[in-house]
Amino acid sequence: SYRKGGYHAVRIGDPFASGRYIAQRKLGWGQFSTVWLAYDTQSSKYVALKIQKSAQQFAQAALHEIEVIRSIADGDPSNSKCVVRLIDHFKHTGPNGQHLCMVLEFLGDSLLQLIRFNRYKGLELNKVREICKCVLIALDFLHRELGIIHTDLKPENVLLLSTIDPPKDPIRSGLTPILERPEGGTLNGGSTMNTIEKKLKQRARRAIANISSRRGSMGGEALKPARCLDGIDMRCKVVDFGNACWADKRFAEEIQTRQYRAPEVILQSGYSFSVDMWSFACIAFELATGDMMFAPNTGEGFSEDEDHLALMMEILGKMPRKIAVGGARSKDFFDRHGDLKRIRRLKYLPLDRVLVNKYKFTDTDAREFMEFLSPLLEFSPEKRPSAQQCLQHPWLNLRSSDGQSKVDAGMNKLKI
């Protein structure tokens, strides 16, 4: 990817914007960009520098993202809406072409890293509530005040506020001969979480999908005690507006990352703000359990889309016929009765049962969490609450008294 039109190769110490920003180390990367910790010599602060690939289509996408986050910054002068802040943007010319660069406030680990760090065991519900509040504040602001749909909400795109201090002595300039490649993906190399994480055995993300035999069985790896996450402030911000759109100016039919995709997107029956609410519910579930809510696969005789719809119905109940047959792609999956064409036998297990049986929630925790989540997972998009309504939900202000919501006291004693 380091060729004409591709990524810009960055060396630590490289200057940007006539020497105002100095590259320190790589923070992350995406399909279109690499993101660097940089030192802003003007404000004497650290920033995140997102450097886009140079080809025309990537530049176009970056211009769009800049337009969106600029309107976000204009709408939130006090920077209190839990959305990443744009500080500056400029063009940088390198051997592979001209790259659009965004200077963003420097944030910390993503929710995905947090989930991994907690060994896919799920966070305490009190922490889940704090994160949910932040994401809802962001969504309410984007939806109601700006008319923007994010369209790609997922744990990777919600970052915690940085809990680590970057180096006291920034690299001012100079050419350290280190060329970091995006696939080297060191993410926040110096963060506490990643250092510990590296020591932990990596394991694949599991999914509750595996309830059903047609998708194979789960690996039976023994659970080790969760790491203590006490003292980590659970505030976060939504990032990555590369795919965001205005509700009255949509671009793509197929939006969202697979596991967080709403049913109306699969069926192509039109979408609006409520697609973000669906993804939000999937994130909340994943935070609380450590598993993705829906992780569909292609199987023999059925597509990933059809598996996805089956998984939804197994937990949420049968999709109302009118909705099932109402989309441009409905005929690919449903017969005229509203039954799936190729996956005939569904194994229903309602959400609260999943939480109790598989994740060892108490009955009360499971019921309360389900009351919060299930309206957001309505098959009918119009029935889903708005972010504003959701912020009023009593679940957000409940407190688990001992800070430990699950019945895993045995595990707790082992906590290091």
**From ligand ADP, Mg ion, none, interface partner of 180 (C-beta below 5 to 8 A by class):** none
Among 180, 197, 240, 314, binds Mg ion (CB under 5 A): 240
The pairing of strands 45-52 and 33-40 is antiparallel
Residue (of 371, 317, 369) closest to 347 by Cα position? 317
Cα distance between residue 200 and residue 185, in whole Å: 17
Of 49 and 373, the one with the shorter C-beta distance to Mg ion is 49
Identify the three-state secondary structure at position 24: strand
Q: Phi and psi for 217 in degrees, rounded to 5?
A: -105, 165
Of 239 and 373, the one with the shorter C-beta distance to Mg ion is 239
Identify the three-state secondary structure at position 283: helix
Which of 152, 240, 305, 408 does the annotation list as catalytic? Answer: 152
Q: Measured from the CB of residue 368, what is the shortest distance to ligand ADP in angstroms?
A: 31
Query: Bridge-partner residues for 46, per DSSP?
Result: 39
Span between the terminal Cα atoms of the chain, in Å: 42
**From ligand ADP, Mg ion, none, interface partner of 27 (C-beta below 5 to 8 A by class):** ligand ADP
Cα distance between residue 135 and residue 116, in whole Å: 19
**From Mg ion, ligand ADP, none, interface partner of 130 (C-beta below 5 to 8 A by class):** none
390: left (phi over 0), alpha (psi -120 to 50) or beta: alpha
Q: Measured from the CB of residue 58, what is the shortest distance to ligand ADP in angstroms?
A: 10
Among 240, 368, 378, 408, binds ligand ADP (CB under 6 A): 240
* Range in contact with ligand ADP (rule: CB under 6 A) among 23-31, 193-201, 277-285, 384-392: 23-31
Q: Measured from the CB of residue 1, what is the shortest distance to ligand ADP in angstroms?
A: 12
Three-class HEC string of 222-261: CCCCCCCCCCCCCCEEECCCCCCEECCECCCCCCCCHHHC
**From Mg ion, ligand ADP, none, interface partner of 239 (C-beta below 5 to 8 A by class):** ligand ADP
Of 86 and 319, the one with the shorter C-beta distance to Mg ion is 86
CA contacts within 13 A on the Cβ side of 197: 22
Cα distance between residue 139 and residue 253, in whole Å: 21
* DSSP-assigned letter for residue 142: I
Of 159 and 209, the one with the shorter C-beta distance to ligand ADP is 159
Q: Is 152 a catalytic residue?
A: yes
What is the CB neighbour count within 10 angstroms for residue 182? 19
Q: Measured from the CB of residue 152, what is the shortest distance to ligand ADP in angstroms?
A: 8
Sheet containing 45-52, strands listed edge to edge, beginning at the edge strand earlier in sequence:
15-16, 21-29, 33-40, 45-52, 97-105, 86-94
Among 3, 11, 19, 31, binds ligand ADP (CB under 6 A): 31
Among 24, 54, 96, 110, binds ligand ADP (CB under 6 A): 110
50 known member of a binding site = yes
- Site for Mg ion contains 109 (CB under 5 A): no
* Range in contact with Mg ion (rule: CB under 5 A) among 58-66, 236-244, 323-331, 374-382: 236-244
Of 27 and 355, the one with the shorter C-beta distance to ligand ADP is 27
Q: Measured from the CB of residue 352, what is the shortest distance to Mg ion in angstroms?
A: 32
Q: Which two tokens stand for residue 312?
A: 């939804």
Q: Map the footprint of ligand ADP across residues 132-171, applying CB under 6 A.
A: 156-157, 159
Kindly list the catalytic residues: 152
Chain residues that interact with ligand ADP, rule: CB under 6 A: 27-33, 35, 48, 50, 84, 104-107, 110, 156-157, 159, 187, 239-240, 242
**Residue stretches of the annotated binding site:** 50
**Residue stretches of the annotated binding site for ATP:** 50
